[in-house]
Every structure is written in C-alpha cells, then in structure tokens.
Amino acid sequence: MIEEEDARERVLGAVPETAGEKVALENCAGRFSCERVVARVALPGFDNSGMDGYAVRAEDAVVGARLRIAGVQPAGVDLGLVVEPGHAIRIYTGAPLPTGADAVVMQEDTELDGEWVRILDAAVLGEFIRRKGADVCPGEVLVGSGDRLTAAIAGVLASQGIAEISCGVPPRVTILATGDELVKPGDALRAGQLYNSNLPMLAALFRRAGAREVRMVSCEDSLAATTEVLREASRAGGMVVVSGGVSVGDRDFVKPAMVAAGYSAGFWRVRVKPGKPFVFGKHEASGALLFGLPGNPVSAYVTAMLFALPALRRWCGAGETFSTVSVMLEAALTNGGDRPHYLRGTVRDGKFSQSGLQQSHALAGLAGSEVLVRVEAETRLSAGSWVRALVVM
C-alpha cells in the first residue's frame, strides 16, 4: 500500500508532455494555455474620455463658469484638437482626449447654451479621463503557461488583436464499468441487481473536466471479457478509467486482465479512505493510462478526483492539478481510522458541514456535497479550524 501523495506523483509522472493546439478565443474558456502571452498593445491605447461630456481645463471649469465650445471630438478618430483656456470640447465616451484637457465634465453636470456650455458641477482634475496604459502596459504578462483560461481572459487577449491561443490537447477518455450485477437504464431490476450509476457519473465527470471525447463501455465479470475491453480501450490512447473489479474477490478481474492486455501494473492500493483498492497502470504500446477505481460509487468518485482528474488536468496542460477552497469547520471532524479520510460536505457562508451518510456506497451524500475535506488518520479537527477542501465537480 502506498501513500496518496506518492500515488499521485507516480500518476502525474506518467502523463505525457502536453501537446499544444491553436484554439480560437471564443472556444478557449476552460482550456489551459501552453504559452505565455505578453501584452503588445497598451490598454487603454490612448488617453480618452470615460464619459459623454466636455473636455476642459479643470481650473476653468468651476461652478457657474461659461466655456466656449471650440469643437467636437467623436470616438474612433483623433482630430488632434486643443482645449484653449476658457474653452471646452464636446467629447464622447472613448474619444481621444484633446491636448490641454485635464478633466472631463459629464454632460449631466452641464447646461448647453448655444455655442457655450455652463458648468453646474465643478470639474475635478483627472476626472473621467482614462489614461493610456493604466490597465495594461506593453510587456506585461497577460497569461502564463498552465493558466486556466476564462471568458474574461479571452477578452483581454482579444484586446491585443490576438484571435487564438495555444492550449493543451485533452486526452480521449474511455470509461469502463465492470459488474455482472449492473443493469442499464430502461431494463427491469431483478433481485440482487442495481442500475449502473458509475458509468454516466464518471463520464459526466470527465466530460465536465475537459476530456476530448468520452466513450462508455460496460463489461461482464470475466477475465476474457475484461481483457478484451481493456485491450480495445488502449487503442484509443488517452485515459482508460475502469470502475469495479479491482479488489480481492474471485470476481475481480481488472488486475490480471490489465496485465494480459499489455498494461504494466504500476501500483495497487493506496492508503486513503474511501478508495483503498485503486490500481494504476500504463499500456506499454499505446501509452494509454489505466485508472482502476473501486466499484463503490463514492470510492470511484473520490479516487477519480484524487488521481484521475489531476492526470487529466496535467494532460490538458494545467499548472494546478487541483481546484481547492478554504473552508472553516462548522463542527469537529474525527478520523479514528488508520487512513486519511475524505469527508463529503457542503459549504454555507464559508463553513463546511458533512452531507448525508459518509460511507463508500452512499451516493446521495456524495450528490449533496460540494467539497471534500481530508482528515488525517487518527486525527480530530476542532470546530472553527480552517482547512483546504477539494471542490467537487
């Protein structure tokens, strides 16, 4: 049995170097950048007005002043106008600031009087002027390699005249559910049977986490069938995520089948709860990585989050392999066992409380959870303590 961190390190070490592909900015949200983007264009690109109003010399624009309107400066063209003392220039939002102007008085604070404008509220030096480079200066790093891209980042990149960015290429993922007791939706349940919940649950998880293409396959409990589907799955490359059949029962065929199908047995069993029987391997010929998750739905989900999702993120080019938040414990959490325990729970106003049954088959507790909190073996965390929690997707 190996430690969780050791297991994750081995998994991440097996992930291939991320390949890059150009992605249009409109499609980049949720992807990971594999390039560093440095600003070439200042933002704003020139001093301009933040309001529709009048560009003035602040010292002239006192309450009651009448200023002569010497011209109009629209947005989109620089007329090269100058504000002389005692004058104002009619100006619009985003229009280049005339030389000599050091404030803009907004239209609502003025009164038009023919070729004159009366100031109702005094100008403040610099007010409503957006200075060149105040937001972004050329040379500034806008995106680092490994950064998660958002729609807002797409916006700032677009401001640079860029149309696309190089992103990591997500792997294909095959989800494989083993178990003779599993029934597909629409079929009637006979005594002892249950619906296959891991297959769609894990497929949804990997799709949501950014997998390129997710295939779902079910498999009966036999060495021959398991070997065949594992071999077939390796052909697609990427990640193969198997649920069930990784434990010590006579009907658990994943370990012998993975060897027979050409996967190396990387490691088996991790000191973590839930999820001890987790197994990891790599297909020698195709490079596909195999993640053997326990069949119990919560164990499957938690081990997917702890080992397979970090691998997916790394494969996609992510710098950070986890998404975490800081939470405060509403009540004490106790782990009397000899393995670190990941407890499922919700967060309300920053406070964590457990959700539902904390057992490895208890799907409803998992479904009601937002985060996982790790409690070390033989440890009590008191109410009010702050911990980092993993965000459930």
The footprint of ligand AMP (CB under 6 A) covers 177, 179, 181-182, 194, 196-199, 243-245, 247, 249, 294-297
CA atoms of 46 and 96, how far apart (whole Å): 7
* Given 96, 146, 179, 281, the residue binding Mg ion (CB under 5 A): 179
* Residue 244 within binding range of Mg ion, rule CB under 5 A: yes
How far is Cα 175 from Cα 295, in angstroms, rounded to an integer? Answer: 12
Q: Which two tokens stand for residue 329?
A: 């414990």
- Select from ligand AMP, Mg ion, none the partner in contact with residue 227, using the beta carbon and a kind-dependent cut-off of 5 to 8 Å: none
Q: How far apart are CA 261 and CA 255, in angstroms?
A: 10
SS3 198: helix
CB 298 to Mg ion: min, Å: 15
Nearer to ligand AMP by Cβ, of 159 and 218: the residue is 218
- Closer of 73 and 227 to ligand AMP (Cβ): 227
Residue 289 contacts which entry, Mg ion, ligand AMP, none (Cβ below 5-8 A, type-dependent): none
- Give the residue nearest to Mg ion (CB): 244
177 binds, among ligand AMP, Mg ion, none (CB under 5 to 8 A by kind): ligand AMP
Binding region for Mg ion (CB under 5 A) out of 61-69, 124-132, 255-263, 294-302: 294-302
Helix (H) or strand (E) holding 179: none
Q: Is residue 297 close enough to count as binding Mg ion by CB under 5 A?
A: no
Q: Taking the complex as a whole, how short is the minimal distance between the CB of residue 277 and ligand AMP, in angstroms? A: 7
Give the contacts of 126 (CB within 8 A, at least 6 positions apart).
58, 102, 103
- CA distances to 36, 39, 143, 258, 374 from 156, rounded to whole Å, are 14, 9, 10, 47, 37
Q: Six-digit token pair at 308?
A: 């397979």
- Which of the listed partners (ligand AMP, Mg ion, none) does 296 bind, with a CB threshold of 5 to 8 Å by partner kind? ligand AMP
Q: How far is the CB of 235 from ligand AMP (least distance, A)?
A: 23
Nearest 5°: CA angle at 177, between 173 and 181?
170
**Taking CB positions, which residue lies at the least distance from ligand AMP?**
295
Distance CA(57)–CA(83), nearest Å, equals: 7
Closest separation between CB of residue 18 and ligand AMP, Å? Answer: 30
Residue 44, binding choice from ligand AMP, Mg ion, none, Cβ under 5 to 8 Å by partner class = none
| Pick 53 or 295: Cβ nearer Mg ion | 295
Cβ proximity to ligand AMP, 88 vs 241, nearer residue: 241
What beta strand segments (E) does 269-349 contain? 270-271, 279-283, 289-293, 324-329, 333-335, 341-348
